[in-house]
Structure 1
Amino acid sequence: MSQRALWAWLFGRTARIGWLHLVVGGALLMPFYLLATVAIGPLTGENSPFLSVPGQFYAFVAVLPLVAVFGLLAPARPLSVATIRSLGLASGRADGFPEGPARTRAARVRTSGWFTLHLALGGLVSGASLALTPFAGVLVALPFVPALRNSDWGVRELEGKPWLVALMPLAGILAMLLLAAASAGASALLARWAPLLLGPTPADRLAAAERRAADLAVRNRLARELHDSVGHALSAVTLQAGAARKVLDSGRADDVEFVREALAAIEDTTRRTVGELDAVLGVLRRGEDAPEDGTGPTLESLDGLLARSGVPVTRTGDDDLAKVPEAVSREAYRIVQEGLSNALRHGGAHPVSLHLAVTADRELEIVLENPLPEHPAPVRPGGGRGLRGMAERAVLLGGRTEAGPHASDGVWRLTARLPLADHPDTGPR
């Protein structure tokens, strides 16, 4: 270690902050220590409030179990973490410390170990700082102040030994260096053990992972809602607007009614989509921890969706889907909506067939078919999330989806099967 590195280790900013952290530990130890002196005094036969050196040692040893018991209490970890962060003892690692109190037994035991270590080392370094600093000052001044050699400091024996008196400043400086080394070593030990004793336990890591998973689920859900609702609306509006423009360009007066219907469909679609967008943004404004309110279009609104889809749809299967649970009905609506968006985007205004039925296995079966386009539409940059979103919706309900071209039939077929049984995330219906 170079001289500069040694000096930085002994007296650098990190060393000074570490010493201050130890002094805080010593200050926290004082109430426990004073309580211990009250109990140790009668046991050692010392009636003075200032115990002898052995009595102080006994009090220090006796106070450590009391500190350890206090460290088991829940507020000990937030207090320790706040001290570390405010002083920057474990710089770069303090952000990984848990915020709240220690809840599990393992976390409390680890916190108690840290709290005891901090206060014990802090008490030793603080006591040494209070005792050695003035003593070292006396030793440094001893050759230059003759009166000190005749004082009650216990150094009268140095009279007549000038060579020994001359060495006293070196002894004082050495004492301060040893104190600085002890402080730097203690603070380095605390910085090393802080992440191990105050860092997250396996239970804390599991809780953090669950929070991240819940956050990701919320974001994915909102992303699917925005993709399916807004994506479908934009596809339908684009097709309707394009068809109306072509009619106007043709200049045929008898097609004015078609343009009027197209504009009405655009108006209705955009108004409905703005409402759905407001609902999703409302969830974002409430925060990610806002409970799921269970709102959203269901299969009861399917007729309106088919009428505004922008493509002719032939529907078969069950007309009465009231027995479908609400959670399944909402996801089924979004799957049909995204399927129609894909058909409109890639197949144009060609007819689409939709089959909805409840099977004997108590599954809602959705089959949507549209003709394969002669010239497939180019894939949009960043696109391709619709099929994945539909699959995610089905998996969350315990179902499955299949989608792809069937060249033998000349169609693109989307199939989804959603169980009607109750789900833990939705509750009984």
Structure 2
Amino acid sequence: MRAFARPLFGRRARLRWVHLILGGALAMPYVFVGAVLVGPAADDTGVFTSLPLQLSSFGIGLPLAALTSLFPLTRPLESAAVRWLCGVDADRLADGPARGRVAKGRTAAWYTLHLALGGIVAGMSLAIPPFAAVLIVLPLVAGLRDSRLGLPEVLDHSWALALAPVAGVASLLALAGCAAGAGALLARWAPALLGPTPEDRLAAAEARAADLAVRNRLARELHDSVGHALSAVTLQASAARRVLDGDPEFVREALAAIEETTRRTVGELDAVLGVLRDGDAPGTAPAPTLADDLDGLLRRTRASGVTVTALVGTAPEALPPVLSREAYRIVQEGLGNALRHAGEGVAVTLRVEVRDGHLEITVTNPLAAAPGRRPGPRPGGGHGLRGIGDRARLLGGSVRAGPVRGDWRLHVRLPMRTAT
């Protein structure tokens, strides 16, 4: 019995019934407009006492509803109602306004269908329950049989009078069945009519791609700035500890480099976090450039006990700002990789020059630590080279990294023309 009653009177069926009643309520203004238009054709009985005129008013109102469905908020409101009352998953519905011809046509079809079925079910819900109640109590209340309620003459027969309660209950069940069927039909058609169109999916994909681009850029900035700073500070502190008693001047330089590195990194971290908090566009966070801080980057790296030979064959001030910024991060990551993987006391060669319309950056360091040299920390790698590759591809450049005759060499080519 419960399995039979649940599809008709369960919670989901009741909520869908409410959804249909809302559709009937929304249809009423359009029906009234239709009644005004067909009013001249009514006789003395009036529009609302003639079933053909009522149906005509309803038929005129539905096209008007389809026109008003072009209002931008129609699809978001209908999608919300379907999600909460019809039990349709949110990911199968579109939340934004209908933007294309196809989306607007589907929204108009849905709105018209909702109001049409809702108007029918709402009218049945108003008319059938009182009639069914009269039929159910008719054998028990003799006064009802004698009143002028317009009951069929067949009810004057005793056998028909005995079946009146059964007919009343059957009419209520029929109403519930119609409401459940109409609600199930709307729930089935909602994803097709209110779901995202190909244009909606494309717009959503573009929005996700833009958001992913922002996240990737922020991740690169955090990795390059914070990762390099932590590697440099670790080696600077280690080198200072080992020569604490024998070379106080080197210790002072290392501590000063640690202070400068952490101060700059905290500033860059605050800038990146500000982008996350404020939702700014990618690239709004201030970033150092070769022109601004190449000398400082080399000085802080050398304070870790690393010998860095820098061969700069072009003026950093002459580079385009975007190219100078990305090149700074590439140099920073290249030096950071040497600190992390080659160990302390290594000799690193940095070459920055312009050749054949390209800015070329080459970082070379020993492939393995020499005997007696303590290797640097080796956290899980791979992200740095991936970030360098991302930066180079965004500028139309190329990256080559790998062992070359006992050394590790990073070579990056960035086109000057594209960067401008």
Structure 1 CA distance, aligned partners of 2:169 and 2:118? Answer: 22
Look up the match of 2:294.
302
Counterpart CA distance in 2 for 1:221 and 1:354 is 25
Alignment of 1:5-404 (within 5 A): 5-45=3-43, 48-85=46-83, 87-91=84-88, 93-155=89-151, 157-158=153-154, 161-248=157-244, 251-252=245-246, 255-287=247-279, 289-290=280-281, 292-293=283-284, 295-300=286-291, 301-309=293-301, 310=304, 311-348=306-343, 349-360=345-356, 362-374=357-369, 380=378, 382-404=380-402
The alpha-carbon distance between structure 1 residues 381 and 184, as it changes in their structure 2 partners (threshold 3 A), is farther
Please tell me the residue identity of whatever aligns with 1:333. Y
Q: What is the deviation of 1:345?
A: 1.1
Q: Deviations over 1:139-160 (max 9, x none)?
A: 0011001111122222372465
Find the aligned partners of 2:85 and 2:153 in 1 and give their Cα distance: 47
- Cα gap change, 1:178 to 1:80, in 2 (>3 Å): same
Residues 151/379 of structure 1: CA separation in 2 closer, same or farther (3 Å cut): farther
Structure 1 Cα separation of the partners of residues 333 and 71 of structure 2: 54
The answer on whether the counterparts of 1:315 and 1:355 sit within 8 Å (CA) in structure 2 is yes
Contact 2:341/2:378 (<8 A) preserved: no
Aligned amino acid, residue 90 of structure 1: G
Hey, what's the Cα distance between the residues in 2 that align with 1:159 and 1:392? 85
What SS class does the counterpart of residue 287 from structure 2 fall into? coil
> What does residue 426 of structure 1 align with?
none
Structure 1 residue 117 displacement after superposition? 0.3
What residue is the counterpart of 2:414 in the other structure? 418
The count of residues paired between Structure 1 and Structure 2 equals 412
The root-mean-square deviation of aligned C-alpha atoms, in Å, is 1.9
SS in 1 for 2:242: helix
Per-residue CA deviation, residues 324-365 of structure 1 (Å, 9 max, x unaligned), is 2111111110010000001111112211111111112x2111
> Residues 147 and 382 (structure 1 numbering): CA distance in 2 closer, same or farther, change over 3 Å?
farther
Alignment-mate amino acid for residue 293 of structure 1: T
Structure 2 counterpart SS, 1:296: coil
Moved more, 24-33 or 267-276: 267-276
1:89 CA displacement: 1.2
Q: Give, in angstroms, the shift of residue 178 of structure 1.
A: 0.6
- Cα-to-partner distance string for 1:53-107 (whole Å, 9 max, x where unaligned): 111111112222111111233222122123224x43134x124433322121111
Looking at structure 2, the residues matched to 378 and 399 of structure 1 have their Cα atoms a distance apart, in angstroms, of 30
Q: Distance in 2 between matches of 1:160 and 1:222?
A: 84
- What's the CA shift for 1:422? 3.7
- Distance in 2 (alpha carbons) for counterparts of 1:155 and 1:256: 112
Q: CA deviation at 1:4?
A: 2.5
Q: Distance in 2 between matches of 1:333 and 1:37?
A: 74
Q: 1-side partners of 2:138 and 2:78: how far apart?
A: 42
Corresponding residue SS for 1:88: helix
TM-score scaled by length of structure 2 = 0.93
Find the aligned partners of 1:295 and 1:236 in 2 and give their Cα distance. Answer: 21
User: How far off its partner does 1:381 sit?
Assistant: 5.5
Structure 1 residues 422 and 156, CA, compared in 2 at 3 Å: closer, same or farther? closer
State whether residues 107 and 194 of structure 2, in contact with CA within 8 Å, keep that contact through their aligned partners in structure 1. Answer: yes
Q: 1:379 to 1:314 in 2, by over 3 A?
A: closer
Q: Compute the displacement of 1:384 (Å).
A: 2.0
Give 5+ residue unaligned stretches, structure 2: none
TM-score (norm 1): 0.91
Paired with 1:281 and 1:15, the residues of 2 have a C-alpha distance of 48
Verify the 8 A CA contact 1:149 1:158 in the aligned structure 2.
Answer: no
Q: Find the residue that maps to 2:125 and give its secondary structure.
A: helix
SS at match of 1:58: helix
